[in-house]
Amino acid sequence: MTSPATACILDGKLTSQNLLDSLSLELAQIKAQGAPLPKLVVVLVGDDPASQVYVGKKAKTAQKIGMLSELLTYPADTTQAELLAVIARLNQDASVHGILVQLPLPKHIDTLSVIRAIDPKKDVDGLHPLNMGLLMTGDPSACKPCTPAGVMTLLKAYNVPLAGQNAVVLGRSNIVGKPMGMLLLQENATVTYCHSKTADLAAVCREADILVAAVGVPNLVTADFVKPGAAIIDVGINRLDGKLVGDVDFTSASQKAGFITPVPGGVGPMTIVTLMANTLFLYRQGQPTA
Ligand code: NAD
């Protein structure tokens, strides 16, 4: 029999709710001033069931906090030219402050070309090369990718020590792994990236005071990967036997970790609240200063 988790749960649901409450207040103030409200447009191409759930949650959250939002859905056979035309229209539309193209896109569409077509000033997931470059240089005007930025907010909400700590990021995607390492570095952590070709993954991970798993392999990170007392952040969202599981084997890892995120209820809600915060951030950057 396994003993109960001893780790402190990093509760993304609760933390995100607190942040959503303060975003609601900010939006109510904007409304009361009679100013135009921030607007987020989410573009979904195809019928990937997981993506449909994610975009639904994003639109619903925007609505709940009083932000304008629109969900544009297109069939899987939409051409790249058609999608680029949609983005060009949204770029021109002054009422739109944030554009999010839900990934992954169907295989016949070049994701990088689509991301490059988004006006960097409306690039709410911070994936445009300009925003990636701003992030890399530590420029405060960078709009930071929602998932890693949400992880940072969660770590800070629980006062997890960052400076001088060993942080290991498992995964090197543009959307999670790479910017995650950058943000940890900006907080003075010592960062190591791991990926599918890393030798002796468990040994590298055991050095981590902060371990972020963004891989997409269910239960890859077991107790054997965990340094006692470490903060374990599980970004993974996988479906296993009809259940949502992360990249971390929560049951074993939580007995050794000091802090751990659950799946669901950890990083997922933090991604969504950061999307809302980023839309407001881009809106404010676009407003004339008094
Ligand atoms: P990706 O497929 O683009 O990247 C996965 C990375 O993991 C790659 O860099 C690869 O090198 C590495 N990898 C693959 N197999 C490995 C292995 N066996 N050992 C070590 N490294 C390995 O994925 P992504 O877009 O970065 O997403 C990662 C996971 O996070 C997925 O499960 C995705 O659904 C989830 N995700 C969750 C959120 C959220 O809000 N919670 C947001 C984005 C992505």
Reference 131, options 122, 103, 287, 114; nearest CA is: 122
The pLDDT assigned to 2 comes to 54
User: Is 102 a catalytic site residue?
Assistant: yes
Same domain? 178 vs 259: yes
Same domain? 103 vs 178: no
pLDDT by 10s per residue, the chain, length 290: 455 568 999 999 999 999 999 999 999 999 999 999 999 999 999 999 899 999 999 999 999 999 999 999 999 999 999 999 999 999 999 999 999 999 999 999 999 999 999 999 999 999 999 999 999 999 999 999 999 999 999 999 999 999 999 999 999 999 999 999 999 999 999 999 999 999 999 999 999 999 999 999 999 999 999 999 999 999 999 999 989 999 999 999 999 999 999 999 999 999 999 999 999 999 999 976 54
Residue 11, domain member (yes or no):
no
Same domain? 73 vs 115: yes
Provide the angle, in degrees to the nearest 10, between the axes of the packed helices 49-65 and 12-32. Answer: 50
Residue 235, domain member (yes or no):
yes
Residue 17, domain member (yes or no):
no
The pLDDT assigned to 4 comes to 59
Same domain? 158 vs 259: yes
> What are the helix and strand counts (H, E) for the chain?
10, 11
| CA atoms of 189 and 93, how far apart (whole Å) | 40
Same domain? 160 vs 226: yes
User: Is 125 a catalytic site residue?
Assistant: yes
**Exactly one of 39, 122, 123, 125 is catalytic; which is it?**
125
| CA atoms of 83 and 89, how far apart (whole Å) | 10
> pTM of the full predicted structure?
0.97
The pLDDT assigned to 287 comes to 79
Residue 80, domain member (yes or no):
yes
Residue 15, domain member (yes or no):
no
Reference 147, options 275, 13, 57, 22; nearest CA is: 275
The pLDDT assigned to 95 comes to 97
The 10 Å Cβ neighbour count of residue 129 is 13
The preferred substitution site among 201, 237, 261, 267 for testing ligand 1, maximizing ligand atoms within 8 Å of CB, is 237
- For position 260, which CATH number holds? 3.40.50.720
Same domain? 176 vs 236: yes
Residue 273, domain member (yes or no):
no
Pocket of ligand 1 (CB under 6 A): 147, 170-173, 175-177, 194-196, 198, 201, 214-217, 220, 235-238, 267-268, 271
Same domain? 76 vs 170: no
The pLDDT assigned to 289 comes to 54
Residues contacting residue 161 through CB under 8 Å, at least 6 positions apart: 209
Distance 216 CA to ligand 1 centre (A): 4
Structural domain span for residue 53: 34-121
Same domain? 64 vs 176: no
Same domain? 115 vs 149: no
Tally of domains within the chain: 2
